[in-house]
Amino acid sequence: MNENLNPFAIAQAQLDEAAAVLQLDPDMHAFLREPMREFHFTIPVRMDDGTTKTFQGFRVQYNDARGPSKGGIRFHPDETIDTVRALAAWMTWKTAVADIPLGGAKGGVICNPREMSSGEMERLSRGYMRNVARFVGLTQDVPAPDVNTNPQLMAWMLDEYELIIGHREPGVITGKPLPLGGSAGRTPATAMGGMFAIREAAKIVGLNLQGATAAIQGFGNVGSFAHKLAQELFGIKVVPVSDEFGGIYNAHGMNYADVKAHLQRAGKLGGCPNTEPVSNKDLLEMDVDILIPAAIENQLTAQNADHVKAKVVAELANGPTTPEADNILNDKGIYIIPDFLCNAGGVIVSYFEMVQNSYQFYWDEAMVNERLDLNMTTAFKAVHDMSVTQKVDTRVAAYLVAVNRVAEAVRLRGWV
């Protein structure tokens, strides 16, 4: 029997498992299984050659019982509404497990940024904001960067929004450039939060991080910062890393600065000096202490989970592990730091950015990281303690913590 790799079906199945443990009221369960609202729209963009190309865009506001919706915007050729729904659901649980007063949302556009000029990307970004401007804002829904989007695109979206409403509102977008009200520490925040979670997991499994080995799948913003921070903070040896073109490997570990310099020169990791090529399959199954999936969904499946040798799987990607793979990894005794806990650092610091925008008072990076550490450590402890007391795996425990908090807010509002 083939696995169902539809990301929203996986998100719903994960919720179903938690609902059974919580003995959640059936009406509440049904309400939490579906997005509260979603938007589908088309974005006509004048291309550099004078033609007009129409792109399909989405925004899903999954649940805002605990506060304004929050979630990034992806630009990707394989974007689907079910992916956006799943990511919005996971963001709902992420903000709840981190115990910050926000709900969950996500956005996306079906496009290939690699084939588009800077001017075309600006026109697409502004077009996206024109479609959602009525439905976003500091007290409604706050977008942010995600896959293939960055602070510059957020700056264009912010500018378009402020042109539409006629006044300044920097808190409508997070992940902005610092001169436009961005937060110190936001760019590495997802990876930094993951490092704090790895530190706590290492204590539980008895792993000395100094000299421990790690494999990182994905070398975008999150994966590259994970390499940098793992090396600098803990002395972890990153043995293989990969990007969309393939992986590289050095048994003695790879220096982040050398890998990054090669990537900037060559445009891909392959061919980095003092490394040998490694396939994505071999990277995931390598004999390392920590496996960090930091790419896309459905990378650890029933087909390869039994070959994973890591002691800790730190899910910096969203949805990298299927439910069938979860069962296999847990049976092997591998400690999983589930995605919406492990990668919560980004939304936590985005929340800090919203707070700073509201007060017009900005923190330095040391303060941001100190507060991020406190949030991540508290969230990790809540999930681990739930896992121990309820005798469930860490992903179910994370859902128990998050779903209980969201359901409580829904009940208090009288929605269900």
What single DSSP character describes residue 269?
A: S
Q: Look at residue 296 in the predicted model and tell me its pLDDT.
A: 80
Residue 314 neighbours by CB under 8 Å, 6+ apart? 194, 197, 198, 201, 290, 291, 292, 293, 337, 342
SS3 287: coil
Give the helix ranges, DSSP H, for 175-275: 189-205, 221-229, 256-266
What is the distance between the alpha carbons of residues 328 and 11, in angstroms, rounded to a whole number? Answer: 18
pLDDT at 280: 86
**Active-site hit among 94, 106, 176, 228:** 106
What is d(CA 375, CA 395) in angstroms, rounded to the nearest whole number? 18
Reported as type and span, the H/E element at residue 123 is helix 118-132
pLDDT at 1: 47
pTM of the model: 0.93
The SS3 call for residue 191 is: helix
Calpha distance 335→326 (Å, rounded): 10
Q: Note the pLDDT of residue 4.
A: 66
Q: Which domains does the chain have, with CATH numbers?
A: 189-342 (3.40.50.720)
Q: Measured between alpha carbons, how far is 186 from 163 in angstroms, rounded to an integer? A: 25
Q: Could you give the CA distance from residue 182 to residue 202 in angstroms, rounded to a whole number?
A: 32
Residue with tokens 């990537």: 263
Residue 60 C-alpha from the chain's centroid: 16
What does the pLDDT look like over 351-372, one tens digit per residue?
999 999 999 999 999 999 999 9
How far is C-alpha 137 from the geometric centre of its chain's CA atoms? 21
- pLDDT digit string, tens, across residues 309-351: 999 999 999 889 988 999 999 999 999 999 989 999 999 999 9
Q: Which residues of the chain fall short of a pLDDT of 70?
A: 1-4
What are the contacts of 53-57 at 24+ separation with CB within 8 A? 55/109, 55/110, 55/111, 55/124, 55/127, 56/109, 56/110, 57/107, 57/108, 57/109, 57/110, 57/128, 57/131
Q: Is 106 a catalytic residue?
A: yes
How confident is the model at residue 5, as a pLDDT? 77
